[in-house]
Amino acid sequence: MAILVDRSTRVLVAGMTGREGSFHTEQMIEYGTNVVAGVTPGKGGQALFGVPVFDTVEEAVAQTGATAALIFVPAPFAADSVLECEAAGIPFITLITEGLPILDSLRVVNRLKAGGRARLLGGNCAGIITPGQCKMGIMPGHIFAPGPIGMVSRSGTLTYEVVWELTRAGLGQSTCVGIGGDPLPGTRFREVLELFEADPETKAVVMIGEIGGSDEEEGAAYIRTMSKPVVAFISGRTAPPGKRMGHAGAIISGGTGTAQSKVDALLAAGAAVADKTHEIPVLVAQALASRGVGVG
Amino acid sequence: MKLHEYESKDVLAKVGVPVPAGEVTSDGDEARAIAERLGGKVVVKAQVLMGGRGKAGGVKLFDDAASAGAFARELIGKTLVSIQNPQGMVVEKVLVAEQIDIAEEYYLSVLVDRAAAKVVVMISAKGGMDIEEVAHDDPGAIVRLHVDPSWGLADFQIRKAVREARIPKPAQSQMVQMIKRLVEAFMDTDADLIEINPCAWTPEGRLVAADAKVSIDDNALYRHEGYRQNADDAAEDPIEAEAARRGIAYVRLDGDIGVIGNGAGLVMCSLDEIASAGGRPADFLDVGGGAQAERVKSCVELVLMDPNVKGLLINIFGGITRCDEVARGILAAFDELNVTIPVVARIEGTAAEEGRRLLEGSRLVPAETMQDAARKIVELAYA
């Protein structure tokens, strides 16, 4: 089961022949991801790692039956690439690219929402992985293991940090979803929490948030209604207001988006909130045990 | 990227928003000439990007051109210090502008509402004060108007919002026009904030942008060549400016423990760990994905430019980033730079064992976990 991607997912990579695109395509193929097509305008007819390259997404979909797209194209062309994938009928689009202008994000996010045909994940995200089945992103595959924990996060490396600790504690993952560090993500915490709630293989959820915006608070409102336990962690508790901490979306502005506001909302919603990353596996194990769910 | 007041007013003037007549200069004699052309009754404003500019003595009203010029001459080259900016900023340019008689002060801004994923216009009849205070004390005094992403704003929507904000009737139609133009300017310049506070209503019945703040989305600077050239100089801190030139994500903070990590989330988390171990972080620095040794060295050099730094924490969880490359970068920094402060590193993930082996025997103190690293650096730095 898992959510959004599994071994049946047929992945198209936009920008596959670029430096980042080719490096990660090779890593994904090594992991076992079914990469069926690459797209780079002007490079149609070539092949890379045995994967055919097409000039357009439409052509690639018609020839290979791709069901998901992973985008590496540079920021000035990224919005166009998302729209091209949507127009070609791809229902799940992940945007790795960092640095999309906010008005581009705004237009793309609203367009996809209005169209109702495609889901966007990202931009500025690490992608998504269903361990042992499909890695569609830039994460190091070897730290993940299959299991019952759903994970959703705004940060890439912090996800690796926590997954590494979960895996070593014997807590494998159903799916790990990187929603990205941009201020207007295509998919938000709440939507991923809803998918995990409905997924029979997911028994508990780990949510990694950070300062900026009110996505965590919106997610917390849904956590109140969930049957599955949620363990959360928020980074940026010591970040000063008005400073952008690396991620375009990680900024406290006008008194909103503080770590404290998020921690308070999550605690009030019944989530367990870890103070330190190494407490997360302990809290997850406790949550599972208290509900009589055995692991491994 | 924040624009100076005079640049912000240019952005507004271009789309037809009334702004006070004025010119910018970096020369005292020219300031006097500008003041003469404006009839002598002027305001001279230091063009520095800092809060508390008025209280710091950077804004003054004059009745004659000679004293305006004398003040400008005195101001140019001077360092202004405020509570918000204790390090101070040097005044390079002054804006000499006509004085506006103000009968009433309103507030207008345009920004992105993240929760709604839409552009929003904020309108209030309570201008001339800190809008965050208004939002806190009298939230009903601020009206929010969302811009439809596909068809923009219809006039009737703006008219309704302006009435709801209790803008007095005589000012309403000019306010409606101003809002339309601000939204146009916001879209055209890829702004992430336009704020007019105060938006002045004059006794003669003119609505004027008496002060203006425009900030351009950093990610969109590539399509606005004119602003892009100023981007490095716009940094409020010299080390941040240097980081921008090197393409490194660096934010200077007010503590004394330097931090280098990979990935924004992990670095933020490292700062939190330092604070919880009793230390004060001096910076946020993300080396980025897949960093090579040369870049790591360059990052170490950047952090050490801050004279307050007493210790350095390096926290790497290698995914695409190879820990052996990071280790080579650290060793190169030790070889080529004069590193005298304690350095603690926690290195995990891809090629971590090789990285640790390379660092054995160096002056670096290894740590097992992020928490362990934070504890060690706080202990060593404050010893």
The verdict on residue B49 lying in a domain is yes
Q: Which of B272, B292, B314, B321 to mutate to test the interface with A (most CBs of A within 10 A)?
A: B272
The verdict on residue B376 lying in a domain is yes
Collect all residues of chain A within an 8 Å Cβ-Cβ radius of residue B267. Answer: 245-246
Cβ separation B268–A235 shorter than 8 A: yes
What band does B133 get if pLDDT is binned at 50, 70 and 90?
A: confident
Q: CA B18, CA B27: separation in Å to the nearest integer?
A: 26
Does B174 score more than 50 pLDDT? Answer: yes
**For position A254, what pLDDT does the model report?**
75
Find the residue in A nearest to B288 (Cα): A246
Q: Can you tell me the mean pLDDT for B36-56?
A: 90
**For position B355, what pLDDT does the model report?**
94
CATH at B123? 3.30.470.20
Collect all residues of chain B within an 8 Å Cβ-Cβ radius of residue A279. Answer: none
Tell me the per-residue pLDDT of A105-130, one tens digit each, with 9 for 90 and over. Answer: 999 999 999 999 999 999 999 999 99
Q: Under a CB-based contact definition with an 8 Å cutoff, are residues B311 and B343 in contact?
A: yes
The encoded tokens of residue B376 equal 């060690």
The verdict on residue B11 lying in a domain is no
- Kindly state the helix (H) or strand (E) to which residue A111 belongs, with its residue range: helix A102-115
Does A256 score more than 90 pLDDT? Answer: no
Q: Which of B250, B267, B268 to mutate to test the interface with A (most CBs of A within 10 A)?
A: B268
Same-domain check for residues B148 and B58:
no
What band does B234 get if pLDDT is binned at 50, 70 and 90?
A: low
DSSP character at residue A248: T
The verdict on residue B137 lying in a domain is yes
**For position B233, what pLDDT does the model report?**
59
Average the pLDDT over each of A197-206, B22-31, B62-71, B312-321 and give the range with the smallest value: B312-321
Same-domain check for residues B220 and B245:
no
Collect all residues of chain B within an 8 Å Cβ-Cβ radius of residue A215. Answer: 114-115
Phi, psi (degrees; rounded to nearest 5) at B97 = -135, 160
Same-domain check for residues B128 and B247:
no
User: How many distinct structural domains can be found in chain B?
Assistant: 3
Collect all residues of chain A within an 8 Å Cβ-Cβ radius of residue B263. Answer: 155-158, 160, 246
CA triple A136-A139-A144, angle to 5 deg: 95
Collect all residues of chain B within an 8 Å Cβ-Cβ radius of residue A211. Answer: 268
Q: Under a CB-based contact definition with an 8 Å cutoff, are residues A45 and A31 in contact?
A: no
The position carrying tokens 């990187």 is A178
Same-domain check for residues B328 and B343:
yes
Tell me the per-residue pLDDT of B260-317, one tens digit each, with 9 for 90 and over. Answer: 999 999 999 999 999 999 999 999 999 988 788 999 999 999 999 999 999 999 999 9
Average the pLDDT over each of A10-24, A96-110, A245-259 and give the range with the smallest value: A245-259
Cβ separation A237–B275 shorter than 8 A: yes
The verdict on residue B1 lying in a domain is no
B325/chain A closest Cα distance in angstroms: 16
DSSP character at residue A47: E
Among B98, B132, B162, identify where a domain stops. B98
- A with B: how many residue pairs have Cβ under 8 Å apart? 160
**Among this protein's residues, is A24 annotated catalytic?**
no
**For position B51, what pLDDT does the model report?**
78
Same-domain check for residues B67 and B146:
no
Find the residue in A nearest to B149 (Cα): A107
Closest CA to B119 of A183, A270, A196: A183
Residues near A60 by beta carbon (within 8 Å), at least 6 away in sequence: A12, A37, A38, A39, A52, A54, A66, A88
Q: Which residue among A24, A142, A247, A278 is the active-site one?
A: A247
3-state secondary structure (DSSP) of residue A71: strand
Among B74, B98, B122, identify where a domain stops. B98
Bridge-partner residues for A174, per DSSP?
none
Cβ separation B268–A153 shorter than 8 A: no
Q: CA B221, CA A101: separation in Å to the nearest integer?
A: 9
Q: Under a CB-based contact definition with an 8 Å cutoff, are residues B110 and B212 in contact?
A: no
B332-365 burial: b if 16+ Cβ within 10 Å, else e: bbbeeeebebbbbbbbbbbbbebbbebbeeeebb
Interface predicted TM-score (ipTM): 0.92
Phi, psi (degrees; rounded to nearest 5) at B272 = -60, -40
Find the residue in A nearest to B249 (Cα): A246
Residues near A289 by beta carbon (within 8 Å), at least 6 away in sequence: none
Closest CA to A151 of A230, A213, A214: A230
Q: CA A70, CA A73: separation in Å to the nearest integer?
A: 9
Q: Which residue among B107, B240, B250, B273 is the active-site one?
A: B107
Tell me the per-residue pLDDT of A130-184, one tens digit each, with 9 for 90 and over. Answer: 999 999 999 999 999 999 999 999 999 999 999 999 999 999 999 999 999 999 9
Does B20 score more than 90 pLDDT? Answer: yes
CATH at B353? 3.40.50.261
Cβ separation A181–B348 shorter than 8 A: no
Same-domain check for residues B293 and B193:
no
3-state secondary structure (DSSP) of residue A288: helix
Q: Under a CB-based contact definition with an 8 Å cutoff, are residues B358 and B328 in contact?
A: yes
Domain extent, residue B93, equals 21-98
Same-domain check for residues B204 and B296:
no
**Among this protein's residues, is B227 annotated catalytic?**
no
Amino acid (one-letter) located at B275? A
The verdict on residue B313 lying in a domain is yes
Note the pTM of the prediction, 2 decimals.
0.93
Cβ separation A101–B220 shorter than 8 A: yes
**For position B229, what pLDDT does the model report?**
65
**For position A296, what pLDDT does the model report?**
47
Residues near A118 by beta carbon (within 8 Å), at least 6 away in sequence: A85, A86, A90, A91, A92, A93, A112
Tell me the CA distances in angstroms from A274 to A194, A198, A230, B306, B331, one per residue in order: 22, 24, 11, 32, 35
Does B322 score more than 50 pLDDT? Answer: yes
Tell me the per-residue pLDDT of B339-358, one tens digit each, with 9 for 90 and over. Answer: 999 999 999 988 889 999 99
Does A273 score more than 50 pLDDT? Answer: yes
The verdict on residue B16 lying in a domain is no
Tell me the per-residue pLDDT of B198-232, one tens digit each, with 9 for 90 and over. Answer: 999 999 999 999 999 999 999 999 999 887 666 65
Q: CA B180, CA B187: separation in Å to the nearest integer?
A: 11
Same-domain check for residues B209 and B242:
no
